A and B are shown apart, each in its own frame.
Chain A
Amino acid sequence: MAARMIELAPHNPYTLTISSPVIAAAGSLGDVVGIARWLGLQRADADHGLGAIVSSTVTRSGRRGQPQLIATPAGVLYHHGGFSLGVQQVREQLAPRWATYHVPVLVSLAGTDTATVAAELSEVPGVAGFELALPATSALEAEQQVARVRRVTLLPLIVRLPGELNDPVAVAQACVTAGADAIALIGGLPACMPHPEGGLIYGRLGGPAIFPVALRMVASVAAAVQLPVIGMGGVATEAHAQAMVQAGARAVALASALVSDLRRGRVIAESLRDQAIS
């Protein structure tokens, strides 16, 4: 059966057409290259179920960092520990490999140098677009941050919203005004857990524990904006994905569920095959 194509950047001249409504969320497949052999990304007939992949966060120079990942009730607490990929690494080592995959790879942007990174990678073959992760911010600040990136790249730009926004609809609308092609939410919730060796680890909570929060925000934003919305935040089962689509999401993104099981993409894509997607 021919795959149903979904357009995530309908107003962008470059477009972002995906063959499955399931996306690998930022960093859920690391730098993507390391995981390619397990998913068969270089094969056109691979059955991984993924329509697009978002890389780990890329910063200008890259940072070594020491990430932490702690199991929580029905979820995981993740702290990036300062780790990021670097522009040079992407340009010289990773993007040439991404260009050979049969699934588009987007670069995740976060932090203070997002516009610089987007400008330097915008013309690099293998980079299909960007996902800008916004911190908890006001609508005005969100508009400014999105506009800074939009000014330097014409590639598809997804803006990811965190789960702790006071007014996610206003922030999403500001992102649309500033030139976002699609809105993804939610990128986790702030949380902390005891460290096994003492003290607390602060990070972002993901996994099914946050799904009800995510679903509520997706429903409210999808009803308010005309652009595609990507539902994420604790999506782990077919029922979660179907609920996101019913709430108005055009695609879903998997994070912790994919880290735990690379086959979740295929399972969830199959469950959405016959579902009407807006």
Chain B
Amino acid sequence: MKMQLYYTATIQEYRQFEHLIWIRLVAPSLARTARPGQFAMISQRQTHSLDPLPRSAVFFAGADPNSGTLELLIDPRDPTLTRLVDLPEGTILDLGVPSVNTCTINPTTQTLLLAGVGSTLPALLFLARRYAGKLNVSLLMAGDDGFVPPPFLLPATVEVQISSTGASALFDLLTTTTDQNPLRWADQIVLGLPSLFVSRAASLIRTTRLRWDHGLVQVILAGSLPCGLGICRVCQIETRQGWQRRCVEGPVFDLRDLRLPA
């Protein structure tokens, strides 16, 4: 059986903030099935340009099945995303959306900690918005000046902590010594990180939690996704199950399964 990979989406709304661009797309069938952690490989439809060739990989920042819309949040400074900058409303995009391993929240989870940096932040925002009001959600984000998502994307019932002194400041947020440190009490943790941060995150959790079972910490791994289909193997990483591709077996992994260099 041939599965659907490609979808058409139309830009309904485009807003530029300091260092972020927010785009709302009309794509009813995708909006029904999109899940946090899922990404789209995007190119413009009906373009006569052959440049650049690889598609832009973007995590979904939200989906509303009722209105049939999807949301993207991109950093225009990212050179792989330049084709998505300055697009007029009404532009038709071509989305390749492979079925991938997305974030899974257990039915028993009451408290959810989300923490991340960079290109995975939209996926964490998607999670926060989906579970706002249903669970106790904390969202910790770090980056440089201007990365902060616009307030209307941050649900009122989600506790948000932000540091704009660089990506590694995320660990300052996570290592607060107060009793309120969500690392201590969260039922589930979802991190959005580049590979270089994973070992540090793992040792932090190991020293903070008495027990660290499978399923406690999921990681949405950031990084280049040139083909998005498992062809090029540029995105492969080492796991307990062997070498896996972030675009096929990921991009969401259990932290205990990752074997990444410190």
Which of these, A27, A29, A71, A262, contacts B5 with CB under 8 Å?
A262
Chain A residue with the shortest CB-CB distance to B226? A69
Are A46 and B231 interface neighbours, CB within 8 A? no
Contact with B along A61-82 (1 / 0, CB 8 A): 0001111110111111010000
Q: How far is the CA of A256 from the CA of B51 in the complex (A)?
A: 12
Q: How far is the CB of B113 from chain A (nearest CB, A)?
A: 30
A43 proximal to B (CB < 8 A): yes
Which residues of the other chain, B, contact A75 by a CB distance below 8 angstroms? 51, 53
A40 at the interface (CB under 8 A from B): yes
Of A28, A64, A208, the contact of B231 (CB 8 Å cutoff)? A28
> A46 vs B52: C-alpha distance in the bound complex, in angstroms?
29
Q: Is A37 in the interface zone, CB < 8 Å from B? A: yes
Interchain CB contact under 8 A, A71 and B53? yes
**Interface contact A35-B232, CB-CB below 8 Å:** no
A-B contact list, 20 entries, CB within 8 Å: A30-B231, A30-B232, A38-B229, A40-B1, A43-B1, A66-B233, A66-B234, A66-B236, A69-B227, A71-B52, A71-B53, A71-B54, A73-B51, A73-B52, A75-B51, A83-B233, A208-B51, A236-B53, A257-B53, A260-B43
State the main secondary structure of chain A at its contact with B: loop
CB-defined contacts of A34 to chain B, threshold 8 Å: 229-231, 248
CA distance A68 to B230 in the complex (A): 13
- State the CA gap A261–B50 with chains docked (Å): 12
Contact A67–B234 (Cβ < 8 Å):
yes
* Pairwise interchain contact B53-A76, C-beta atoms closer than 8 A: yes
Within 8 A of B (CB), among A229-278: 236-237, 256-257, 259-263
A residues lining the B interface (CB < 8 Å): 27-30, 34-35, 37-40, 43, 46, 64-69, 71-76, 78, 83, 207-208, 236-237, 256-257, 259-263
Total of A-B residue pairs, C-beta within 8 Å: 91
Question: Does B6 have its Cβ within 8 Å of any Cβ on chain A?
Answer: yes
How distant is B175 from chain A, measured CB to nearest CB, in Å? Answer: 27
Does A260 lie within 8 Å of B54, measured CB to CB?
Answer: yes
Report the count of interface residues on B (CB-CB < 8 A). 29
Considering the chains assembled together, what is the distance between the CA atoms of A67 and B243 in angstroms? 13
Interchain nearest-CB distance for A119 vs B (Å) = 26
- A32: nearest chain-B partner, CB-CB: B231
On chain B, the residues within 8 Å of A72 by CB distance are: 52
Contact A40 B231 (CB under 8 A): no
Chain B: minimal CB distance from A19 (Å): 17
Q: Mark B14-46, 1 if CB is under 8 A from A, else 0.
A: 000000000000000000000000000001000
Interface of B, secondary structure class, is loop
Q: Confirm or deny: B2 has a beta carbon within 8 angstroms of a beta carbon on chain A.
A: yes
Query: Inside 8 A of A68's CB, which chain B residues have their CB?
Result: 234
Name the B residues within 8 Å of A65 (CB-CB): 233
Given contacts A64-B243, A67-B232, A259-B231, is CB(A237)–CB(B2) below 8 Å? no
Residue B3 at the A interface, CB < 8 A? yes
- Contacts beyond the supplied A30-B232, A64-B243, A260-B53: 12 A-B pairs with Cβ under 8 Å: A28-B231, A34-B230, A35-B230, A38-B3, A38-B98, A46-B2, A75-B51, A75-B53, A76-B226, A259-B226, A260-B43, A262-B5
Give which listed residue, A30, A64, A261, contacts B43 with CB less than 8 A: A261
Provide the residues of chain A in CB contact with B248, threshold 8 Å.
Answer: 34
Least CB distance from B94 to A in Å reads 8
Q: Please, which residue of chain B has its CB at the minimum distance from the CB of A46? A: B2
Q: Give chain A residues whose Cβ lies under 8 Å from the Cβ of B232.
A: 30, 67, 69, 78, 259
- Closest chain B CB from A237 CB (angstroms): 7
> How far, in angstroms, from A91 to B87 measured CA to CA in the complex?
48
CB-CB nearest in chain B for A240: B50
Give the chain B neighbours of A39 by CB distance below 8 A: 2
Asked if B80 CB lies within 8 Å of chain A CBs, one says: yes
A237 proximity list for chain B (CB < 8 A):
50
Cβ–Cβ < 8 Å partners of B52 in chain A: 71-73
Query: Interface readout for B73-113 with A: 1 if CB under 8 Å, 0 if not?
Result: 00000011000000000000010101000000000000000
